[in-house]
Amino acid sequence: MQARVEGAIGCVKQHSRASLLHANKPTRFWDDATKDSTIKKVYLWASPDTRGKLQAPHDRMQPAFFGTYKTVAVPFGSRVIAQLPREHHLVKNGSFGDRFVTGVYLCSDSATPCNWMFSIALQRKIKVHDFKSYPLQFPSKDPSCLTRNTPTMTKEMSKMHKENAHDDNLIAMETSNQTLALRCVQLRILLTRISWSLLMLTMIPTSTTCAQC
């Protein structure tokens, strides 16, 4: 049981690293990446049950998660545009003020059918309900995808990466070391199979024929 738990923890860590590297997000978002990968594993990863029907862990248990497919099936770190309600404390002049917020997707909220996003302009996390996602656009990779990109937003994104540059390099090195270790194990298994095949070939008796003069 302990080995299965450690394996599950290792799997979540690998997916968290992959999410951060793919979205080019700094390590300050490690908690959000871990939560997002865990929710996606429970809600989206299906496996066949005893009757051969595909079910996710969320379907097998009594659901206590209030997220939906719309709030979960969004790539981590992708661009999100949300519309805030008029009564939101961030909206100034509710009738005529700007109610749209641009940011990146972090994770789905477990208690409400909303999601958490990080507003680049405000530099804070916001829980939103009405949003539109762009799964192929990642602002931290390509800031040009932002429709309202300003020099201040670009400066803030660069500042985040500079503050976490050391930790980001450690994650990249750890990921590359794990990839190298996996390839070494695969090569060792391949060499072992080749050795066993050669050994079996040497044990096969050869038939000889004698010619009589």
Question: Which H or E run contains 80?
Answer: strand 79-83
Is 27 a member of any domain?
Answer: yes
**What is the spatial distance between Cα 80 and Cα 121, in angstroms, rounded to a whole number?**
13
Is 186 a member of any domain?
Answer: no
**Number of domains making up the chain:** 1
Give the Cα-Cα-Cα angle 63, 48, 9 (nearest 5 degrees).
65
- pLDDT tens track for 98-155: 678 888 999 998 888 889 999 887 888 988 888 888 999 998 888 888 776 667 666 6
Is 177 a member of any domain?
Answer: no
Block mean pLDDT (10 aa), the chain, length 213: 77 86 87 90 81 79 76 91 78 65 89 88 86 89 76 66 57 61 71 73 58 48
Q: In the chain, which residue ranges form alpha helices assigned H by DSSP?
A: 2-23, 30-44, 57-60, 69-72, 151-163, 165-203
Domain containing 71 equals 2-169
Is 203 a member of any domain?
Answer: no
pTM equals 0.66
Is 42 a member of any domain?
Answer: yes
pLDDT value of residue 213: 46
What sign for the dihedral angle of Cα 186, 190, 191, 193?
positive
End-to-end CA distance of the chain: 71
State the CB neighbour count (10 A cutoff) for residue 144: 10
**What is the spatial distance between Cα 71 and Cα 131, in angstroms, rounded to a whole number?**
9
